[in-house]
Amino acid sequence: MTTNLRGAALLREPRYNRSCGFTEDEREALGLVGLLPPAVDDEKVQLERALVQLSRKPSSLEMYLYLSSLQDTNETLFYRLLMSDPARFLPLVYTPTVGEACLHFSHIIERPRGMYLSLDRKGRVREILRNWPQSDVRFIVVTSGERILGLGDLGANGMGIPIGKLALYTACAGVPPEVTMPVMIDCGTNNETLLQDPMYIGLRRPRAAQAEVDEFVGEFVDAVQEQFPDCCIQFEDWGRFDAFRLLNRYRERICCFNDDIQGTAAVVLAGVLGALRITGGKLSEQTFLFLGASQAGVGIAELLAQAMVAEGLSPEQARARTWLFSSKGLVESSRTDLSDFQMAYAHPHPPAKSFAAAIESLKPTAIIGVSTVGKAFDREVIQAMARANQRPIIFALSNPTANSECTAEEAYEWSDGRAIFASGSPFMPVRYGDQTFVPGQCNNMYIFPAVGLAIYAARARLVTDEMFIAAAHAVAEQVSAADLDVGLIYPPQSSILKTEVRVAKRVAEVIFRRGLARIKEPEDLDAFIESHVYRAEYPALVG
């Protein structure tokens, strides 16, 4: 890697800057003498200094701000820090801390990162994309900020999500950071608090109508195809109706996916497959009951159904094993208030207004919470599941932590220590009786970075659900017997890079097998994937 930057300009470029880590020869050759203190730090000292500074921050948000500053000044050290202890640091750059950061984003922003494309720039998107400093962009995470985590419409404050997601691409799966670009498509906001905030960084107008949004997104997609032809677009945290509409519009035309739909579904599937290694039985023998009947929940149900079809069921038989429960009760065939996307799951059954009553009637082996209603899995619900199952599978997936349908402690206590539990936000290990349980975090970071690495290496033309199903199976297979013994149904985050490289290989197999790669299949796929993995090492700047 080479650069024409020298002196102070080099120190201001995070991709090349190594602060006090420049050697004496580099300082002489690059015009840095006198611009740095005399001591030359090795990698260990730099990491220790970063840890000391981080330890002095009084809150998670302050730690987030420190890490953001480090990313803006020394990118290599930032990723070296994250990858040194992923379980400790990834929650600081993404969930749950990123939710708090987005709430305050307009107040804490220092150095803007990414591309901001607002509706008042209509007709100029291709021109604006040319301002990006890198010519080879392979991944764009793009949001409209309308549905940030469980926090709702945060407008341009939602830019923290694409920034955080792309950091996970690199930290979890080794996708090179220089090929990524976070994008905010600012369509306005209906959040009156933001519109009245003098420091708000976004457009001060109500959200645009669907037709205007679609027209602008179309211009954006076309511009990306022209400017960055090998780029994969990940739609993230769009409004629930926009999310499915845009995915369905573009998934057969361009390389794109929606992590809230496909990534979430795949990581839930991975968790279920992990749980079945404890309970026994096949996926196609399970009965699922969702609390929450939104398009996100249906997206999970559809991927579960596809995976059951792969075990021999028909699509109708697979869907019949999944039930939805909305705010108005059980989704069943007599209801007249259902949306089109819910109809495939409206099975014949007497109405039920109580979730616990639905459990007593349907006897599901797993309940999956996507309701964003905190404490919705109360004692009555958990105990009903425990009566129906020796090892009830309980997934409380809503984010942030306050919206989780139950805590890990509640799930274990109310099931007499028999629950197999996973959540969207992290929970600490729980001691119950003479056993310590380690809750699983059903976090998309197990899936989308690995899918991304495979897409990047193989230069995939399209993204398919089959790729996400393969990723889910690969994740579940890497849970050890020791992990299962303590109730952990996802691989430990401490070894996430190793896990995801293996997952990427499985996804790449699908890409090549289905003829979706833009390149010829390599003879040694393992070595090929490994060769594309980013390592947090300083580039050589002096020959």
What the block records as the tokens of 86 is: 């992923």
Across the range 455-472, mean pLDDT stands at 98
Closest CA to 213 of 156, 121, 144, 142: 144
What's the burial of 359, exposed, middle or buried (CB within 10 Å: 0-12/13-18/19+)? buried
Percent above pLDDT 90 for the chain: 93
Across the range 176-202, mean pLDDT stands at 98
Mean of the per-residue pLDDT values of the chain: 96
Q: Is the pLDDT of residue 469 over 70?
A: yes
Please tell me the predicted confidence (pLDDT) of residue 472: 98
Domain boundaries, the chain: 7-82, 92-254, 262-444
The CA radius of gyration of the chain, in Å to the nearest whole number, is 24
Q: Is the pLDDT of residue 81 over 90?
A: yes
Location of structure tokens 């470029």: 13
Q: Is the pLDDT of residue 366 over 80?
A: yes
Closest CA to 293 of 316, 327, 337: 327
Please tell me the predicted confidence (pLDDT) of residue 401: 83
- Coil vs helix vs strand at 494: helix
Q: Is the pLDDT of residue 240 over 80?
A: no
Helix count and strand count (H, E) for the chain: 24, 14
pLDDT digits (tens, 9 = 90+) for 271-280: 999 999 999 9
Q: Is the pLDDT of residue 525 over 70?
A: yes
Q: Is the pLDDT of residue 311 over 90?
A: yes
pLDDT digits (tens, 9 = 90+) for 393-409: 999 999 778 889 999 99
Strand order in the sheet with 393-396: 329-330, 322-326, 288-291, 366-369, 393-396, 420-423, 440-441
What's the burial of 437, exposed, middle or buried (CB within 10 Å: 0-12/13-18/19+)? buried
State the pLDDT confidence band at 241, using cuts at 50, 70 and 90.
confident
Q: Is the pLDDT of residue 4 over 60?
A: yes
Please tell me the predicted confidence (pLDDT) of residue 542: 83
Closest CA to 117 of 247, 20, 45, 219: 219
Location of structure tokens 């007593």: 360
Please tell me the predicted confidence (pLDDT) of residue 540: 86
Phi-psi region of 433 (alpha: psi -120 to 50; beta: other; left: phi over 0): left
Q: What is the DSSP letter of 401?
A: G
State the pLDDT confidence band at 150, using cuts at 50, 70 and 90.
confident
Active site residues: 94, 165
Largest pairwise CA distance in the chain = 80
pLDDT digits (tens, 9 = 90+) for 405-457: 999 999 999 999 999 999 998 899 999 999 999 999 999 999 999 999 999 99
CA 473 from centroid of its chain's CA atoms: 17
Across the range 142-164, mean pLDDT stands at 95
Q: Of the ranges 155-159, 180-184, 492-496, 527-531, which one carries the lowest mean pLDDT score?
A: 492-496
Please tell me the predicted confidence (pLDDT) of residue 295: 80
Across the range 236-252, mean pLDDT stands at 92
CATH 1.20.1370.30 for domain 7-82: yes
Strand order in the sheet with 180-186: 115-118, 180-186, 139-143, 232-235, 256-258
d(CA 122, CA 118): 7
pLDDT digits (tens, 9 = 90+) for 371-383: 989 999 999 999 9
Spell out the residues 6+ positions from residue 218 whose beta carbon is closer than 8 angstroms to its own: none
CA distances from 126 to 131, 142, 216, 222, 500 (A): 9, 15, 12, 8, 34
What's the burial of 340, exposed, middle or buried (CB within 10 Å: 0-12/13-18/19+)? exposed
Please tell me the predicted confidence (pLDDT) of residue 292: 95
Please tell me the predicted confidence (pLDDT) of residue 294: 87
pLDDT digits (tens, 9 = 90+) for 266-300: 999 999 999 999 999 999 999 999 999 988 899 99
For the beta carbon of residue 491, count every other beta carbon within 10 angstroms: 24
Is the Cα torsion angle 57, 59, 63, 65 positive or negative in sign? negative
Per CATH, the homologous superfamily of domain 262-444 is NAD(P)-binding Rossmann-like Domain (3.40.50.720)
State the pLDDT confidence band at 1, using cuts at 50, 70 and 90.
low
pLDDT digits (tens, 9 = 90+) for 485-518: 999 999 999 999 999 999 999 999 999 999 999 9
d(CA 364, CA 512): 37
CATH architecture of 92-254: 3-Layer(aba) Sandwich (3.40)
Instruction: Please determine whether the domains at 7-82 and 92-254 fall in the same fold group of CATH.
Output: no
